[in-house]
Amino acid sequence: MNAETTMAPENAVKAAKANILQGINAAIADAMEEDDNVIALGEDLADPEEGGVCGVTRGLSSRFGEHRVRSTPISEQAIIGAAIGASLVGFKPIAEIMLMNFTTVAMDMIVNHAAKLRFMSGGQTHVPIVIRTMTGTGFASGGQHCDYLEAWFAHTAGIKVVAPSSPKDAYGLMRSAIDDPDPVLFIENLPTYWTPAEAPEKGHRVPIGKANVLSEGSDVTIIELLPRLVPVEDQAISAELEKSFRKQGIKSLTGTKVTKAAVAGNVVEIEAQTPDGKTQTLSADILLVAIGRAPVTRGLGVEELGIAMDRGYIKVDELYRTSVPNISAIGDVITLGNGVHPQLAHVSSMEGIVTAERIAGQEVQPINYDHVPGCTYCDPEIGSVGLSEAKAKERGYDVRVGSFPFGVLGRAKMAGETEGFVKIVADKKYDEVLGVHMIGPRSTELVAEAVLALRLECTVEELMKTIHAHPTFAEAIGEAAHATHGAAIHM
């Protein structure tokens, strides 16, 4: 890496263009200039030419001295341990771990010594450290390492995870991370280091907390033709999502039909018909259209083979055989003739397994599409499987339901993620679980337990008797089971 790669910190924020590396360098330099307690430590950080592994801190030791920009032993535990110790005596350390892969080695220290100190002290002790680490290096460092550890850290109470995508973001997020009272994992994507973009302004901050579409001050409006935001979900889930969006400042127009959209200069002019028949006009910088999908079967030659079709979809039976012998089809291009085929990657994958096993001569069973999990990756997350309360009643079940809010749980309080609930729909006669619906933290992960419960024809009582670890978000499932029988434990 050449010395010219990084411009001097005092110039980085003044240039018309900068890169992410320069944005981080400038943020650290400005913070150190303003606050004597800000220090940096890591492998080769004090070397004025090296400036750490990728040169992010190049020039800082010459400017602020080696007592504030310190080279440490090549040991991830030593780097994190020194940072935690320094934070507890009043410093604001910025620790560099060479690669994202290597954070596994220091995982226990980051979690048990840093994040849990706040919890164990009842919120009185904070560990204001920034852990800088790089991902996207193109190689692994051992079987136990993973380039996607940010997903793990994001689920750990007391730790914030940020990943800048531009020089402006890099500068603003780093400044906010240094000021944050809790550990911040600052993930830097190596391939984007040197891509030039708009340079940050000195003192710029990007708030760290719940990332959402409003973080940069945008006004967001969702227009939904059907009466509810997520019409395929249980009505209670849809109502909770709409309430959450209102709190976030996101407007929702349900039962509303877009009748016209046209570009006018730098904006999109939109006309929509509201449920009362009136016309509403909106103006937007960006219009995102997501109104469903269609099969891409044109050009495959299916018609020439004589395969039966239905409005572009390939007609198959329950084991994915087409109308032509020895030709099978799976995934988003098929129809089973009952209008209930979900266009989801995990469904297509299972259909492929069933088809391969059938072709190999193994005994197979048709997929029960009532057991397909649905996940909506919004904030708060939604996860569901099985019948909604309304659908269960439509099918003639005498149902009973129970729900339990995440906000009561200790884990939810620690993580500061208290929105949402788990709802269970069950058959009153046999106590069988018919559906599980959840909205809130980790719902897209927690739904896996519910899928297994339906697959095994689990009863509510069996869910009640299942021990859920404490403190976890999964406790909400066990508590919802108790609530279904009218007696949640912690309510």
List, by residue number, the catalytic residues: 470
CB 278 within 8 A of CB 259: no
Listed in sequence order, the DSSP H helices in 2-75 are 9-12, 20-34, 60-64
Query: CA 93, 94, 100 angle in degrees (round to 5)?
Result: 140
Where b means 16+ CB within 10 Å and e means fewer, 434-443 reads bbbbbbbbbb
Where b means 16+ CB within 10 Å and e means fewer, 399-411 reads bbbbbbbbebbeb
* Separation between Cα atoms, residue 423 and residue 308, nearest integer Å: 41
185 exposed, middle or buried (CB, 10 Å; 0-12, 13-18, 19+)? buried
DSSP E strands: which ranges in 214-254?
221-224, 251-254
Rounded to the nearest 5°, which phi and psi values hold at 439? -140, 125
Q: How far apart are the first and last CA of the chain?
A: 59
Query: Among 185, 198, 25, 224, which residue's Cα sits nearest to residue 102?
Result: 185
**Residues facing residue 12 across a β-bridge:** none
3-class secondary-structure state, position 270: strand
> Cβ contacts of residue 290 below 8 Å, gap of 6+?
none
483 exposed, middle or buried (CB, 10 Å; 0-12, 13-18, 19+)? buried
* Separation between Cα atoms, residue 32 and residue 175, nearest integer Å: 10
289 exposed, middle or buried (CB, 10 Å; 0-12, 13-18, 19+)? exposed
Query: Among 186, 176, 162, which residue's Cα sits nearest to residue 206?
Result: 176
DSSP β-ladder status, 374-376 and 334-335 = unpaired
Where b means 16+ CB within 10 Å and e means fewer, 267-283 reads eeebebbeeeeeeeebe
What the block records as the tokens of 212 is 């959402």
Q: How many CA atoms lie within 13 A of 2 on its CB side?
A: 4
